[in-house]
Structure 1
């Protein structure tokens, strides 16, 4: 039992360090606080904006605008091991997008998706929206299929 927990912690540390290092542009074991949401999402966790702000408040260095790996690693390990911010079930996402897709086309227009994601609910920032759009497969007519979007949102 203890061996399994040790293995889970070791695996979590590897994932967290890899995700963190991808945003440690100065190689000084710190990242800009604005990158934390992206790092957490890349680890398969989907906190609400309130949860994200609370997490940042817990790990940020004296409101200096950066987070050090020494604070991030134990806090994020706990989040992963407790499955604190689970992904949204695909069925629930599908239902949500069906509501948005009033004509039942199976896709949303790029502009339409951008509008929903930046102005409704817990809105994405423009930077987050740009990153998401860059990662999506968008056809020549600027259509974004649910399947592609679900893969991005649930991976």
Structure 2
């Protein structure tokens, strides 16, 4: 059995590891290297950390970390504690692979085992919470089989799923 001191050290080590992940993800989108990120990258930044909040949840997070006078930028010193807390609480986790496959099966009403680029674009931009053009392009670049021009969703679902660590 671990001692209280070992448990505390393990917890501190885990928090430090999470903070490094958050810092690394932030730095990717900090194009000016000035510890700020354009709010337009807010979704990409969180998804790179394995968080998949809805657009409404993103707005709520942004409201908590944005400056009093909105500047269009998120400052690192506000982002780090908020994202560390979200990761510690394991909030906004992506769907597991089996749920993603079920969703794709619903979209593939003919049972072909794939979706066309046009079908996926229609579903992702016209149904539910629509993807932005940038999100759609990012998804298609990762999902479309370049030889067939289709999305073999069984393969793509495994790429989208994030394993619990």
Cα RMSD after superposing both structures: 1.3
What stretches of structure 1 of length at least 5 have no aligned partner? none
Pick from 8, 15, 18 the counterpart of residue 14 of structure 2: 8
Q: TM-score, normalised by structure 1?
A: 0.94
Q: 2:57 is matched with which residue?
A: 51
SS at match of 2:115: strand
Q: Is it true that 1:69 corresponds to 2:76 in the alignment?
A: yes
Is the CA contact 1:137–1:148 (under 8 Å) kept in the aligned structure 2?
A: no
Pick from 72, 82, 90 the counterpart of residue 83 of structure 1: 90
The separation in 2 between residues aligned to 1:100 and 1:135, in whole angstroms, is 18
Q: 1:129 is matched with which residue?
A: 136
SS at match of 2:37: strand
How many residue pairs were aligned?
A: 155
Q: Which structure has the bigger radius of gyration?
A: 2
Q: 1:93 is matched with which residue?
A: 100
Structure 1 consecutive aligned stretches of length 4 or more whose deviation exceeds 4 Å: none
Report how far residue 137 of structure 1 moved: 4.5
What stretches of structure 2 of length at least 5 have no aligned partner? 1-6
SS at match of 1:140: coil
SS at match of 1:31: strand
Q: TM-score, normalised by structure 2?
A: 0.88
Is the CA contact 2:143–2:152 (under 8 Å) kept in the aligned structure 1?
A: no
